[in-house]
Amino acid sequence: MSEYNSSWKRNRSRKSWDIKTLKLRIQDALKSIEPVFLGEAGKDYDKEEMQMKLKAAHAYSQLAGKHRKLTEIEDLEERITALEEQNNLKKVG
């Protein structure tokens, strides 16, 4: 086994992230992509830079969509939990 593969296996995340952690990771990625996407004022881009900018825009839109979905899921989970708690209180009371 190569050193790269063993190192990758050793360093990869072993547990899944919760929604809050995923949202934070996506927000961090969006922040890092934004300067590439928006560019610098007065700067002309060559073809390679424009391709990078288009890729960044695509990644930005994909991440924004995922972020929106995670926010919706998180909201639904909170609502379901609240309803379940209300239902349990009615059963006990």
Q: What is residue 9's predicted lDDT score, i.e. its pLDDT?
A: 60
Which amino acid does the sequence have at 91? K
What span, in angstroms and rounded, lies between the C-alpha atoms of 90 and 82? 12
Q: What is the dihedral of CA 19, 32, 49, 68, to 10 degrees?
A: 30
Q: Which residues contact 45 (CB under 8 A, 6 or more apart)?
A: 39, 53
Q: What is residue 76's predicted lDDT score, i.e. its pLDDT?
A: 94
Q: What is residue 1's predicted lDDT score, i.e. its pLDDT?
A: 45
Q: What is residue 89's predicted lDDT score, i.e. its pLDDT?
A: 84
pLDDT < 70: residue spans in the chain: 1-16, 37, 39-45, 93
Q: What is residue 81's predicted lDDT score, i.e. its pLDDT?
A: 94
